[in-house]
């Protein structure tokens, strides 16, 4: 009887059994045969090979899209019949052979070769940037000569070069990520360009350069326009940011400083009293970091000598993180101990502009926390406007869109967090936008529900993440509305929001 017959009691073709098992969920024998067929189809065709793999065999597995773990186990089972040279590794990488498989192939470095062979091949790998492979060859030398200094030194060199390469790759990744965020933020600002251009023209007509620079920056952030820059510079001068030599910066001492308790050469932490703005940009932030140095420190003595404390004001951190040199020097003295007074305390003081700025205790000197000192910027600094936050919007700014706007759907963000916020809007009109502290931004969106992922802070060490929503944008009676969202800094970081923000989902 034909093997293709499906009559009961006959010898059946495997496909017949498969058909019966699918339709009738039949006999145990058919079920086992089905499992066997499925297993065989899941194993790479090259697995039937009994000998070690050639280069073409490995490349064939890669081209078949073999699952990485199965690929690795197959190579471990069979081994290879070729030496993993520089050219071979380059070829396998070009054919998308997984990294775990390449590491296994490195284990098949030719045996019983003289140290010179492993040194020469290791150097070739090192020269071509294959650092892990180079280490594998150098380690073969140490198997033969455990204390070989050349192999040890080269392993150290290869590991160092690998770390450098990884650092460069990470830096490039961060740059690409920053560029992506910048493009997204520019796209978010683009719908407001018409309004910004109108405002720029209005401030130029009034020769109000602070307002003009503010809106010029908004425009140039999206993309520089030569005609608008020429119009701005005709009225207000070069579109640039300069911190001029001699600019006054007032700082304060955040803690008491005592003549007998400080040490010469010690660094002193200071805080900025008032922010400094140039052309509408915050160049120095309020409560930003500044620093000085103890130049002399001496407690009072029993020989009627008063304590002394000398301090130089050396520098301040700008809002973009760059350091700016400052110059100021102050010497504080305590009062001499009275010859007539056998007991008691004489209060020492130093006066600047008629105001007491220290308090003395006995013959020592104490500079009280909160004492202010004014220093001068030394040298003119040319700054990049794109790296500095804008200050408050000029009076009369109308970027907050009214509650009902015909022809637009808008989610309006009001930032009251005390720091800049980057918002990733997830929904029908997904986008990323930046809302500076104290400012508002209206994102044009289609109707629908939105989730809001927010990153608060200006530098990575300060970042806090938060998630909110859904925010519903509807279109009642044919009119398009604005949904208002107030951004307030959270008390703690939300790890899940951080993860979703980074993924963009």
Q: Which domain holds residue 442?
A: 410-503
Q: 237 and 146, same structural domain?
A: no
Closest CA to 368 of 309, 327, 312: 309
Q: 252 and 378, same structural domain?
A: yes
Q: 70 and 35, same structural domain?
A: no
d(CA 61, CA 57): 6
**Position with higher pLDDT, 225 vs 420:** 420
Residue 130 forms part of a structural domain: yes
CB 272 within 8 A of CB 303: no
Look at residue 269 in the predicted model and tell me its pLDDT: 92
Look at residue 211 in the predicted model and tell me its pLDDT: 82
Q: 214 and 130, same structural domain?
A: no
Residue 187 forms part of a structural domain: no
Look at residue 12 in the predicted model and tell me its pLDDT: 37
> How would residue 316 be classed by pLDDT, with cut points 50, 70 and 90?
very high
Tell me which H or E stretch contains 314: strand 308-317
Q: 446 and 431, same structural domain?
A: yes
Q: What sections of 49-148 are H helices per DSSP?
A: 55-63, 68-78, 86-94, 99-106, 115-127, 131-144
Q: Report how many domains make up the chain.
A: 5
> How would residue 477 be classed by pLDDT, with cut points 50, 70 and 90?
low
Q: Is pTM, for the whole model, over 0.85?
A: no
SS (H, E, C) 218-282: HHHHHCCCHHHHHHHHHHHCCCCEEECCCCEEEEECCCCEECCCCCCCCEEEEEECCCEEECCEE
Q: Is the model's pLDDT at 85 over the cut of 90?
A: no
Residue 238 forms part of a structural domain: yes
The CATH number given to whatever domain includes residue 51 is 1.25.40
Look at residue 374 in the predicted model and tell me its pLDDT: 93
Mean pLDDT over 309-335 rounds to 88
**Position with higher pLDDT, 504 vs 389:** 389
CA torsion 433-211-483-405 (nearest 10°) is -120
Q: 91 and 36, same structural domain?
A: no
d(CA 285, CA 253): 16
Mean pLDDT over 358-379 rounds to 78
Look at residue 1 in the predicted model and tell me its pLDDT: 33
Residue 256 forms part of a structural domain: yes
- The DSSP letter of residue 481 is B
Closest CA to 309 of 271, 350, 352, 272: 350
Q: 375 and 255, same structural domain?
A: yes
Q: 103 and 63, same structural domain?
A: yes
Residue 99 forms part of a structural domain: yes
Q: 116 and 205, same structural domain?
A: no
Mean pLDDT over 218-226 rounds to 76
CB 281 within 8 A of CB 391: yes
Q: 200 and 283, same structural domain?
A: no
Give 425's strand partners: 431, 452
Residue 393 forms part of a structural domain: no
Domain boundary residue among 382, 399, 432? 382
Q: 235 and 289, same structural domain?
A: no
Mean pLDDT over 224-233 rounds to 79
Look at residue 224 in the predicted model and tell me its pLDDT: 65
Residue 210 forms part of a structural domain: yes
Give 271's strand partners: 252, 289
Residue 371 forms part of a structural domain: yes
Average per-residue pLDDT for the chain: 77
Mean pLDDT over 277-292 rounds to 88
For the chain, give the percent of residues with pLDDT over 70.
76
Tens-place pLDDT, residues 141-172: 999 999 999 999 999 999 999 999 889 988 88
Tens-place pLDDT, residues 449-472: 888 999 999 888 889 999 887 887
The CATH number given to whatever domain includes residue 444 is 2.60.40.1120
Q: How many residues does the chain have?
A: 505
Q: 63 and 31, same structural domain?
A: no
> How would residue 198 be classed by pLDDT, with cut points 50, 70 and 90?
confident
Look at residue 221 in the predicted model and tell me its pLDDT: 79
């Amino acid at each position: 009887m034909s093997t293709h017959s499906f009559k009961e009691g006959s010898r059946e073709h495997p496909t017949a059994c498969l058909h019966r098992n699918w339709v009738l969920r039949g006999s145990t024998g058919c079920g086992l045969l089905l499992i066997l067929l499925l297993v065989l189809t899941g194993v790479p065709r090259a697995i039937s090979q009994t000998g070690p793999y050639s280069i073409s065999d490995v490349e064939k597995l890669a081209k078949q899209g073999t699952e990485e773990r199965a690929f690795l186990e197959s190579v471990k089972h069979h081994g290879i019949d070729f030496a993993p040279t520089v050219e071979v590794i380059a070829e396998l990488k070009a054919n998308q052979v997984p990294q775990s498989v390449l590491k296994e192939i490195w284990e098949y470095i030719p045996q019983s070769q003289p140290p010179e062979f492993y040194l020469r091949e290791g150097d070739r790998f090192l020269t071509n940037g294959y650092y892990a492979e180079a280490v594998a060859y150098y380690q073969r030398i140490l198997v033969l000569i455990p204390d070989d200094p050349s192999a040890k030194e080269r392993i150290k060199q290869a590991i160092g070069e690998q770390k450098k390469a990884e650092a460069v790759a990470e830096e490039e990744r961060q740059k690409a990520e920053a560029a992506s965020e910048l493009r997204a933020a520019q796209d978010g600002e683009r719908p407001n360009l018409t309004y910004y251009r109108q405002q720029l023209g209005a401030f130029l007509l009034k020769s109000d350069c602070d307002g003009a620079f503010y809106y010029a920056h908004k425009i140039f952030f999206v993309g520089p326009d030569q005609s608008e820059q020429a119009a701005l510079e005709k009225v207000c001068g070069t579109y640039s940011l300069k911190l001029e030599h001699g600019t006054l910066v007032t700082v304060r001492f955040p803690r008491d400083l005592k003549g007998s308790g400080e040490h010469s050469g010690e660094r002193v932490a200071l805080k900025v009293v008032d922010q400094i703005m140039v052309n509408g940009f915050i160049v120095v932030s309020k409560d930003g970091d500044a620093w000085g140095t103890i130049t002399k420190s001496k407690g009072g003595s029993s020989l009627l000598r008063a304590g002394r404390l000398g301090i130089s004001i050396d520098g301040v951190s700008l809002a973009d993180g760059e350091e700016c040199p400052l110059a100021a020097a102050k010497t504080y003295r305590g009062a001499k101990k009275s010859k007539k007074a056998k007991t008691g305390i004489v209060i020492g003081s130093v006066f600047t502009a008629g105001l007491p700025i220290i308090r003395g205790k006995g013959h020592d000197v104490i500079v009280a926390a909160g004492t202010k000192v004014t220093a001068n910027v030394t040298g003119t600094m040319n700054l990049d406007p794109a790296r500095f936050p804008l200050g408050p919007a000029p009076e009369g700014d109308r970027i907050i869109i009214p509650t009902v706007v015909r022809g637009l759907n808008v989610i309006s963000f009001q930032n009251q967090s005390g720091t800049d916020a980057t918002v990733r809007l997830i929904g029908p009109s997904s986008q990323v936008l930046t809302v500076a502290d104290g400012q508002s931004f209206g994102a044009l969106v289609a109707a629908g529900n939105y989730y809001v992922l927010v990153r608060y802070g200006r530098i990575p060490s300060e970042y806090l993440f938060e998630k909110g929503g859904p925010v519903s944008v509807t279109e009642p009676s044919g009119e398009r509305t604005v949904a208002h969202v107030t951004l307030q800094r959270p008390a703690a970081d939300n790890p899940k929001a951080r993860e979703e923000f980074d993924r963009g989902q």
